[in-house]
Amino acid sequence: MSFRVDLNVIAQQEQLSRFALTLHNLSDDAITIQSFNFIFDRYVTPNSVQHGTFTQVGSHCRFTPSSARLDANDSMYLEFEVNTFPLRYLSDGIKDACIETIEFKKPISVTRTPIVLVKPTATEETVPAVEPSKLALIPQPTHLTRADGNLILGREFNLVSCHPDAQAAIQWLQDESLSLHGLSLRITPTDSHPSIDYIHNPIFDQDAYRITVTALGCLVEAGEPAGFHNASATLLQLMQTNSIGHCSLPVVTIKDSPRFSYRGFMLDCARHFHPISSIKRLINQLAHYKINTFHWHLTDDEAWRIEIKALPELTDIGAWRGPGLPIEPQFSHASQKYGGVYTQQQIKGLIEYAQRRGITIIPEIDIPGHCRAAIRSLPDMLVDTDDPSRYRSVQNYSDNVLSPALKGTYQFLDIVLEEIAQLFPSQWVHIGADEVPKGVWVDSAACQAMMLEHGYQSPVELQGHLLRYAEQKLKSFGKRMVGWEEAQHGNKVSKETVIYSWLSEDAAINCAKQGFDVILQPAQYTYLDMAQSDMASEPGVDWANSISLKHAYHYRPLSAVDEQDPIHKRVLGIQAAIWSEIITDQERLDYMLFPRITALAEVMWSREQQRHWPDYLARLKGHLTQLKRQGVTYRAPWN
Ligand code: ACM
């Protein structure tokens, strides 16, 4: 059987595009179409589709033609419109498609030709040519002096340490030296030559460290485990091996500490499932760039990934999507069951793996919006059948918000938050709170009664009410709630909540002025699911803008805030992120991450005066061999 779909943009304005879609039957037989299903993530104006019935749930579009028969070598044609900004990329087209027919029991996959765009861009800005730097350190340290000569360590040498704070960092250095450089490092408690000696020095605070390399030895000093980890990351970038596998370190003194104490990366594991092995690989990579926090986006409309022992339906049902399942196919795999679960056992292993690399894992359970997978899994608990309110979320769902007037919502939160709090040692738990659609709850008699009871003027206060409940619950488990910038809408959560701004830096600055601690995650610079150029062939999205390597590197956090302004103290750090709508596999993840994550790691760590674009490029060029060695399929900055 052979079917193909073509999609052309036939007219395009700022907020209106019109499409022509053709489905070809290239087989030798006529078929009777029950539905043509395709994945397309813009919202199709429903009454723009004719000659059949059309429904869309999220990115899943289903068209049932009024004339069902499609003869061999014939085609079916339809047009439709969207009222969003223009499409620029081939990855904006149909992501997958299949047909359901009378003749065949299973859905039949449909191949796709690339979307035909209006005026596709074929060129991109080039990165200046540079010579690779021999001292390829990323992020750039605060103070570095290089002298002549090298410390020759050979192929096998000792790591000396007595202090327990250095133990994990030394173990990690040992593992990574072996896997990256083929080096055998012995750990001994006594002085011996040649060696790298880790010494506890209480003058260094949390992340800070000093490395002193002479021709005779290497001394690493730090005051806390984080400082030792950062030193190990630097050593791994300083190590040079020659053609016979012998290691040397350049004679340097490095005294280093970060600009921001929180340096984070968020991965969305709901839209596509990333196996534990891939997350471990990522966490290990983050440690190399001194990123100390992994924010794990575990639940969303399209999947609930974390095992909750008291509510097995959440993963039995909510972790899977596919034809005929409670959750329709989304973003890929139109004709198959797709999904995955992280068991609590696996999560414990991952937490330990991250701890050994100096990385804290913050779990995110996104409420009250972005909850469709949970709601589809637990309809008896989470669906308010008496609420006729109509709404549509940004991602095209009309049934993805928890109700603040439903008893089940609170039972659900009690169970989930307790298991999360017990499982994750992290002080912080992320509660999401983003993108609750307008129109939610407005026609619910129970919500209206609740507003009256509490004197609330706007439904957004109901959201605040729910989040305050979550905040207090988490507090009772000894946790601090953190959430997206919308968490403080409705003015109910306490100033203890940490706010992550994502739409821009402005929300963070406003929240910091009000007394919240904040994390900066502006989509315009830090969302690495944004495409890396304007070229049509570039995979990615661009609702914030495209983010080239140069653009990412030139993020200047808080550049609009006076240096003396006390709100700087409220800005705890910076986080980069990947939303996984189009991140289907490891290769795509690598491509979107590298090398931009190295640029953003430098934004998080290094002060403005240490950051220079040509100098960073030279270090990046020197560093690429290390990425190659790890098998990272990065986007080549130079062709
Ligand atoms: C977000 O990007 N909705 C936090």
Query: Which DSSP string do the residues of 483-541 spell out, in sequence order?
Result: EEGGGGTTS-S-TTSEEEE-S-SHHHHHHHHHT--EEE--HHHHBTTB-SSS-TTS-SB
Taking only the tens place, the pLDDT of each residue in 131-155 is 999 999 999 999 999 999 999 988 8
Taking only the tens place, the pLDDT of each residue in 499-552 is 999 999 999 999 999 999 999 999 999 999 999 999 999 999 999 999 999 999
Q: Compute how many other C-beta atoms are within 10 angstroms of the C-beta atom of residue 250.
A: 16
> Probe ligand 1: pick from 296, 502, 529, max atoms within 8 Å of CB?
502
pLDDT-based confidence at residue 162 (cuts at 50, 70, 90): confident
Cβ of 500 below 6 Å from ligand 1? no
pTM over 0.75, yes/no: yes
| Side chain identity, residue 320 | W
What is the rounded (10 degree) CA torsion for 580, 584, 588, 592?
0
CA 189, CA 170: separation in Å to the nearest integer? 12
pLDDT score at 264: 98
Is residue 1 over pLDDT 70?
Answer: no
pLDDT-based confidence at residue 582 (cuts at 50, 70, 90): very high
State yes or no: is 435 an active-site residue. yes
pLDDT-based confidence at residue 233 (cuts at 50, 70, 90): very high
pLDDT score at 587: 98
Annotated catalytic residue, options 307, 366, 384, 435 = 435
pLDDT score at 188: 80
Q: How far is CA 346 from CA 16, 280, 306, in A?
A: 46, 11, 10
Region 330-345 average pLDDT: 98
Q: pLDDT above 70 covers what percent of the chain?
A: 100
Beta bridge partners of 75: 24
Burial 349-373 (b: 16+ CB within 10 A, else e): ebbebbebbbbbbbbbbbbbbbbbb
Region 186-211 average pLDDT: 89
Cβ of 435 below 6 Å from ligand 1? yes
Taking only the tens place, the pLDDT of each residue in 436-492 is 999 999 999 999 999 999 999 999 999 999 999 999 999 999 999 999 999 999 999
Distance 587 CA to ligand 1 centre (A): 23
Is residue 191 over pLDDT 80?
Answer: no
Distance 297 CA to ligand 1 centre (A): 10
Cβ of 484 below 6 Å from ligand 1? yes
Beta bridge partners of 295: 266, 362
Is residue 245 over pLDDT 90?
Answer: no
Annotated catalytic residue, options 256, 300, 384, 485 = 300
* Residues contacting residue 501 through CB under 8 Å, at least 6 positions apart: 484, 485, 507, 508, 511, 518, 519, 520, 521, 522
Distance 83 CA to ligand 1 centre (A): 21
**CA 306 distance to own-chain centroid:** 16
- Measured from the Cα of 579, ligand 1's closest atom is 2
DSSP state of 574: E
For residue 612 the two structure tokens come to: 């220079």
pLDDT score at 406: 97
* 276-288 helix and 344-355 helix, angle to the nearest 10 degrees: 20
- Measured from the Cα of 432, ligand 1's closest atom is 4
Taking only the tens place, the pLDDT of each residue in 308-320 is 999 999 999 999 9
pLDDT-based confidence at residue 605 (cuts at 50, 70, 90): very high
Annotated catalytic residue, options 272, 370, 489, 551 = 370
Taking only the tens place, the pLDDT of each residue in 351-399 is 999 999 999 999 999 999 999 999 999 999 999 999 999 999 999 999 9
pLDDT score at 155: 84
Distance 54 CA to ligand 1 centre (A): 28
Where do we find the tokens 């019935």? 53
pLDDT score at 400: 98
Cβ of 502 below 6 Å from ligand 1? yes
pLDDT score at 195: 87
State yes or no: is 200 an active-site residue. no
Is residue 23 over pLDDT 80?
Answer: yes
Judge whether 189 and 199 are in contact, CB under 8 Å. Answer: no
Taking only the tens place, the pLDDT of each residue in 286-296 is 999 999 999 99
- Measured from the Cα of 527, ligand 1's closest atom is 2
Judge whether 155 and 217 are in contact, CB under 8 Å. Answer: no
Three-state SS across 231-273? HHHHHHHHCEECCCCCEEEEEEEEEECCCCCEEEEEEECCCCC
Cβ of 40 below 6 Å from ligand 1? no
CA 433, CA 414: separation in Å to the nearest integer? 17
Distance 433 CA to ligand 1 centre (A): 9
State yes or no: is 370 an active-site residue. yes
| Side chain identity, residue 400 | N
For residue 419 the two structure tokens come to: 């298991």
CA 244, CA 182: separation in Å to the nearest integer? 11
Region 78-101 average pLDDT: 97
Judge whether 208 and 183 are in contact, CB under 8 Å. Answer: no
Region 70-97 average pLDDT: 96
pLDDT score at 194: 80
Residue whose CA is at the smallest distance from ligand 1 atom 2: 502
Distance 503 CA to ligand 1 centre (A): 8
Question: In what helix (H) or strand (E) does residue 380 lie, and over which residues does it extend?
Answer: helix 379-382
